[in-house]
């Protein structure tokens, strides 16, 4: 069982841990400029002759290593030693204002908070630099706060001028927290950080991983929904097309049947027309026969079938009737169908003749043509 002293020590440890955590949280809520004043700093100043080191002490930066000009390799080594001795210190690089490209821009006062982002977006249009080739920082100048516009200075340094030093520091295990600028004319440090935009993007990326995963999940869901919707539309279109195909097939079958019926009717009509053309009308046959036979001849039987005409009647001489049909344009092959008998009661011979009837135009009738073939 823990003693009273152990219990008090544990309680004190918990209270101290709580206040330490609470202090860190409050420090995180402070603006970067305010927080930077209290944090320890190690600064590499880039000069024309070499590099000088500064470290904070008593709230102010003072020269380190006697303020001597160092080479890049010596400066990196010295910064590594100072950073390991004070792990909570911020490490930064300070460049002279003369190595920066500066442009002054007037912006609406309402755009003051977004001045850095606006000027970065306008960089490639207004300057010969590419955003990927420079580090940028924005400094809004103080004014009376009554005008509709504010003046801002947009500072740019080439990445190639500081990235070799950044690479050496990172390789030695030292993380660079800021890059600022100092005016060698008055020796004043400008409150800018050329790495601020990248740090904000990194923090946004780290904080946005969950958002990115949600967006990816939503994107995947949208993709699946799009596939399902496309499949549903495809299936609906396929069903519609199949229904139209079945309807078209039924209509085609109906049209085909109608065409077959029409063709059959046309065939029958054509056959009837050929039959009509191949057959001499009975009225014409009777008219021609009446004109050809003498008035003394009486017909008792008349039969016309398949182009063959059989007539039976009474005449003074049945055999004398045959020459009458030899030069007829309508009749041919006249002959006695049976013997001639004398009818004493009528005082005439009873005869029976069989003739071939020609078609219109003088051609033999159908039966006659088939017999000649």
Each residue of 244-273: pLDDT tens digit?
Answer: 999 999 999 999 999 999 889 888 888 887
* pLDDT score at 223: 86
The first and second tokens of residue 91, run together, are 């490490």
306: three-class secondary structure by DSSP: coil
Taking residues 98-105, report their average pLDDT: 90
* Lowest mean pLDDT across 16-25, 286-295, 326-335: 16-25
Of the candidates 25, 22, 42, 18, the residue with the CA atom closest to the CA atom of residue 92: 42
* Lowest mean pLDDT across 196-200, 220-224, 280-284: 196-200
Is this prediction's pTM over 0.85?
no
Q: Is 70 exceeded by the pLDDT of residue 122? A: yes
Start-to-end CA span in the chain (Å): 140
> Tokens 């010596």, residue?
74
* pLDDT score at 196: 84
* Higher local confidence (pLDDT), 57 or 95: 95
Count of beta carbons in the 10 Å neighbourhood of residue 30: 12
* pLDDT score at 208: 52
Q: Is 80 exceeded by the pLDDT of residue 95? A: yes
Following DSSP, what letter does each residue of 27-90 receive, concatenated?
A: HHHS-HHHHHHHS-EEEEEE-SS-EEEEEEETTEEEEEGGG--B-HHHHHHHHHHHHHH-TTSE
* pLDDT score at 94: 92
* Alpha-carbon gap, residue 307 to 285, rounded angstroms: 10
Mean pLDDT of the chain: 80
> Tokens 């799009």, residue?
226
pLDDT digits (tens, 9 = 90+) for 18-37: 555 556 555 555 554 444 44
DSSP label at 139?
Answer: E
* pLDDT score at 14: 54
* Alpha-carbon gap, residue 92 to 166, rounded angstroms: 10
* pLDDT score at 35: 46
b/e sequence 141-170, b meaning 16+ C-beta within 10 Å: eeeeeeeeebebbbbbbeeeebeebbebbe
Q: Predicted confidence band at 16 (pLDDT cuts at 50, 70, 90)?
A: low
Q: Is 90 exceeded by the pLDDT of residue 277? A: no
* Higher local confidence (pLDDT), 299 or 275: 299
Q: How far is CA 218 from CA 12, 204, 211, 214, in A?
A: 48, 20, 10, 6
* Alpha-carbon gap, residue 31 to 109, rounded angstroms: 21
* pLDDT score at 210: 60
Q: Predicted confidence band at 333 (pLDDT cuts at 50, 70, 90)?
A: confident
């Amino acid at each position: 069982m823990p003693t009273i002293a152990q219990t008090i020590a544990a309680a004190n440890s918990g209270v101290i841990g709580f206040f330490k955590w609470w202090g860190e949280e409050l420090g995180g809520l402070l603006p970067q400029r305010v927080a930077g004043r209290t944090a320890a700093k190690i600064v590499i100043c880039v000069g024309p002759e070499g590099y000088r080191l500064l470290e904070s002490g008593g709230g102010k930066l003072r020269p380190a290593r006697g303020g001597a000009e160092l080479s890049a390799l010596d400066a990196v080594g010295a910064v590594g030693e100072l950073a390991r001795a004070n792990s909570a210190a911020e490490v930064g690089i300070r460049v002279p204002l003369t190595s920066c490209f500066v442009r002054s821009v007037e912006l609406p006062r309402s755009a003051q908070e977004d001045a850095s982002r606006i000027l970065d977006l306008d960089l490639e249009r207004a300057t010969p630099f590419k955003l990927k080739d420079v580090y940028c920082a924005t400094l809004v100048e103080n004014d009376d706060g009554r005008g509709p516009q504010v003046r801002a200075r947009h500072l740019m340094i080439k990445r190639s001028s500081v990235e070799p030093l950044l690479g050496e520091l990172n390789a030695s295990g030292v993380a660079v927290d800021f890059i600022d600028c100092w005016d060698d004319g008055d020796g004043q440090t400008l409150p800018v950080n050329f790495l601020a935009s990248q740090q904000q993007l990194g923090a946004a990326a780290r904080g946005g991983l969950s958002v990115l995963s949600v967006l990816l999940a939503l994107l995947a869901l949208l993709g699946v929904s799009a596939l399902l919707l496309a499949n549903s539309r495809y299936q609906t279109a396929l069903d519609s097309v199949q229904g139209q195909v079945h309807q078209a097939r039924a209509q085609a079958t109906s049209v085909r049947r109608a065409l077959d019926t029409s063709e059959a009717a046309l065939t029958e009509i054509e056959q009837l027309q050929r039959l009509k053309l191949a057959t001499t009308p009975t009225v014409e046959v009777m008219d021609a026969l009446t004109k050809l036979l003498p008035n003394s001849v009486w017909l008792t039987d008349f039969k016309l079938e398949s182009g063959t005409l059989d007539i039976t009647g009474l005449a003074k001489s049945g055999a004398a009737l045959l020459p009458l049909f030899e030069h007829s344009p309508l009749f041919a092959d006249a002959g006695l169908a049976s013997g001639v008998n004398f009818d004493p009661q009528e005082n005439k011979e009873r005869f029976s003749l069989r003739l071939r009837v020609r078609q219109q135009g003088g051609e033999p009738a159908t039966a006659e043509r088939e017999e000649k073939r």
